[in-house]
Structure 1
């Protein structure tokens, strides 16, 4: 088993006033040659957007873009004709493919919106752009893994053009779960949303990240009540 630990306070920090973003991997003005990606997991941004503010229309191409709201309401508009609002408990995916433009704004004027912006490098280039979002049943992750993303259209959660699986879990203090890899050459990036856990003999606190690979499974044990996002991704690019 091999691991790479990313402590929360070592992330890139970009504060634009209306937007405060923490970057687990190199992004925009934050560049760290040792923090470019974890396999095909290219971007993990922890964003806070002030009331009524947001990202104006901008383009994307050949990237799988996943948004997971943590609080508040995020309004999405895109060149495919979608106008939607995503909120805590939802997950959104956009396959940019041959090219798409979109905007994201905090729908509320009086409260911030917090969400994770995740980019995964796809295994197919120049696909037809697509959009999807679903509402998850948070009760299904109580002390057990809830799959929220996979490569398979018929599976639970949204799907993307990559051999990647995302799960979420809410663990009570003292509870444990074991994550079994779907593909032996994949790695697992563990991101603690709240609380603290131990995984691969590493203690992880709020917003800490841990990449684990060269293993078939990983056990997580909660030191206190914890919410965790687990992202299994191929380690090889291309």
Structure 2
């Protein structure tokens, strides 16, 4: 990882331009190269390698598969997702609950749409989630799992630290990741409400739902993202009810 000074820039990425994977049970939209989709100029931004916007059909999901040396954060927007892994961890992830899996030396897990459990009956709704991967500080750490619920009122009208490995966020982050240069923040905004982006050399703003106005860049709709380099502190104002996810990064991959 590097903390080298980078050329300032604001790179707006529209929803319609994302790479997509569509099969019978999955509608996945990728912000960066992923799986069979490869673009040599679109492999990461800062420390963020994956920002997948997934919709998984009921009764389906990702069967058991392996990961290693990656910090994986999952944020559910609607429905619920069941996680099970080879370390004996299991849990149901739903809106407002932050989840982190550290793959480390190697872990296998499955992720299934299990929304009906919370409602008490089966239904036909997909689970909508954003899954994000950042590199860890070092390879070969012990695999781990953490989840914690964030109260809805905390997310309303302000940026809340969802996941962080930065010492400055040690007491405020809901969950912790093994990278001291990165943090994820989230907010739910009503029309007219605004937050300011963190001060950091690298930022990734994603709008998983709703519409906002980014100071200096204009309107962003559902699925749009902005990669900021050397520019921070801008105001993000909701045009309609919206949810935003912001990665604050103080280093990049060499």
Same fold (TM over 0.5): yes
Q: Unpaired runs of 5+ in structure 2?
A: 1-7, 117-121
Residue number in structure 1 paired with 2:173: 156
What's the offset of the Cα at 1:235?
4.2
The alignment status of 1:21 with 2:16, answered yes or no, reads no
What is the distance in 2 between the residues matched to 1:73 and 1:172? 24
What is the distance in 1 between the residues matched to 2:38 and 2:18? 10
> Partner of 2:197: helix, strand, or coil?
strand
User: RMSD between aligned alpha carbons?
Assistant: 1.5
What is the distance in 2 between the residues matched to 1:178 and 1:106? 34
Q: 2:207 aligns with which of 187, 192, 197?
A: 192
Q: Is the 8 A contact 2:158 2:188 kept in 1?
A: yes
Q: 1:170 aligns with which of 176, 185, 188?
A: 188
Q: Is the 8 A contact 1:38 1:235 kept in 2?
A: no
The alignment status of 1:226 with 2:233, answered yes or no, reads no
What is the distance in 1 between the residues matched to 2:198 and 2:94? 29
What is the distance in 2 between the residues matched to 1:173 and 1:15? 32
> Partner of 1:148: helix, strand, or coil?
strand
Structure richer in strand, relative to its length: 1
What is the distance in 2 between the residues matched to 1:223 and 1:154? 32
What is the distance in 2 between the residues matched to 1:64 and 1:15? 25
> Partner of 1:139: helix, strand, or coil?
helix
Tell me the alpha carbon deviations over residues 66-107 of structure 1, each in whole angstroms, 9 at most, x when there is no partner: 111111111111011012111111111011111111111112
Any runs of at least 4 consecutive aligned residues in structure 1 with deviations exceeding 6 A, and if so which? none
What is the distance in 1 between the residues matched to 2:192 and 2:98? 28
Q: Is the 8 A contact 1:75 1:106 kept in 2?
A: yes
Q: Is the 8 A contact 2:198 2:248 kept in 1?
A: no
What is the distance in 2 between the residues matched to 1:7 and 1:195? 14
